[in-house]
Structure 1
Amino acid sequence: MKKIFISILILLSLAIASIVPFFKSVVIEDGKTGKSLAFFDAKQGSEFSIEYIHSIHKTPVREIYQVHNEEILQTEMRFQEFGVGMPSGADEGEVFAQKGENYILSNMKRTFPSLDIRIGQIIANHTLLLKGHEYPFSGLSEKGSWVSIKVDNLNIWQRLIGGKKLG
């Protein structure tokens, strides 16, 4: 009887541990359905970037982000041309500089609960840069679709069925 009780207690503990979300991750979801497409492990301060080709001036733009509590913190932006959607200077506390062909806006402290991205169909080629690897968003979802990126805590089951593990 004691062995049955211990076995039930162990199984119950494993079941509870498998549904408790304690793996901090950055999750990429389908913007319409909320279905998880991919994720990567994240700690406080973990960094990732999103790079794309600007649709009007057709030059690369890189936005650099960090995991900040349960939000996404934009820390830097690099681009080569001024134009629609590009900053023309720094906000309070930010630093605007030019290095070679690049303009760099750094010391940014802009937080977002999530990032919504419409995957470019022709030019943009939105790409996630993570730990030296490149992951085109078009490899996770169709061109022209909408993805949402957010910080979330996942449980074991969500990690097993939550899309492609990146990084």
Structure 2
Amino acid sequence: MKLKRFMAFGIPLLIAFLFFFPYKHVIAFSFEDQGELVAYFPLKREQNFQIKYTHSIHLSEVLESYRLSDKQIEQTELAYHDFAVGMPSNAEGEEVFEEKDGTYFLKNMNRNFAYIDLRLGQVKANHRLIYDEKTYTLADFIKPGTWVRISSERISLWEQLKGVKISG
């Protein structure tokens, strides 16, 4: 009798738990600030990633480097080629400013965010995610012009089925 009861309620409950339990650590791209998963990038052991784009005014490459924790995104470095609108001209606090071969670097950054909001460029920006030495063009997975919220999340199997997996 107990086995039948377990089979009737326990197994479906266990399957539902496994299906909806958030276990996979990802870089999540959610639609605006609504929390609806648009796309995700599954993490291996590497917790570092970069976002590369073309600056809309001076049309040169910008590279932002990040490290993930369970619920935070830490910006660790910024590399760019032009002092123009939106680009820093000096380091703050413990940060280090360097110039090497025409590229400016802000290193030793320790700027923590719960999330990063990004409007995916429609024309020139060409936003790319760099992870584990591979580059993924975000417009291949997310419609250009879309406002996304990037965050460090754990997602369930159900959420993986609903979102678009970014991978090569």
| Aligned counterparts of 2:166 and 2:4: Cα–Cα separation in 1 | 37
| Aligned counterparts of 2:91 and 2:101: Cα–Cα separation in 1 | 18
Q: TM-score with structure 2 length normalisation?
A: 0.88
Identity of aligned residues (%): 35
Secondary structure at 1:13's aligned position in 2? helix
Which residue does 1:28 correspond to in 2? 29
| Aligned counterparts of 1:33 and 1:16: Cα–Cα separation in 2 | 24
- Paired AA for residue 165 in structure 2: K
Q: Residue 38 of structure 1 contacts residue 166 of structure 1 at CA under 8 Å; is this kept in 2? A: no
Which residue does 1:119 correspond to in 2? 120
Gaps in structure 1 of 5+ consecutive residues: none
Gaps in structure 2 of 5+ consecutive residues: none
Cα-to-partner distance string for 1:95-120 (whole Å, 9 max, x where unaligned): 11111121111110101111111112
Which residue does 1:55 correspond to in 2? 56
- Paired AA for residue 65 in structure 1: Y
Secondary structure at 1:87's aligned position in 2? coil
1:72 is aligned to 2:69? no
- After TM superposition, the structure 1 stretch with the greater mean CA deviation from structure 2, 90-99 or 27-36, is 27-36
| Aligned counterparts of 1:15 and 1:143: Cα–Cα separation in 2 | 35
Secondary structure at 2:121's aligned position in 1? coil
Cα-to-partner distance string for 1:132-154 (whole Å, 9 max, x where unaligned): 22222222222222111111221
| Aligned counterparts of 2:162 and 2:73: Cα–Cα separation in 1 | 23
- Offset at 1:43? 7.0
- Offset at 1:41? 2.6
The 5 Å alignment of 1:1-167 reads 1-8=1-8, 9-31=10-32, 34-42=35-43, 46-166=47-167
- Offset at 1:40? 1.9
- Offset at 1:56? 1.4
Count of aligned residue pairs for this structure pair: 167
- Offset at 1:17? 2.4
- Paired AA for residue 46 in structure 1: Q
- Paired AA for residue 71 in structure 1: Q
Q: Residue 39 of structure 1 contacts residue 165 of structure 1 at CA under 8 Å; is this kept in 2? A: yes
| Aligned counterparts of 2:70 and 2:17: Cα–Cα separation in 1 | 24
- Offset at 1:44? 8.3
**CA root-mean-square deviation:** 2.1
Q: 1:111 to 1:13 in 2, by over 3 A?
A: same
- After TM superposition, the structure 1 stretch with the greater mean CA deviation from structure 2, 108-117 or 16-25, is 16-25
- After TM superposition, the structure 1 stretch with the greater mean CA deviation from structure 2, 80-89 or 40-49, is 40-49
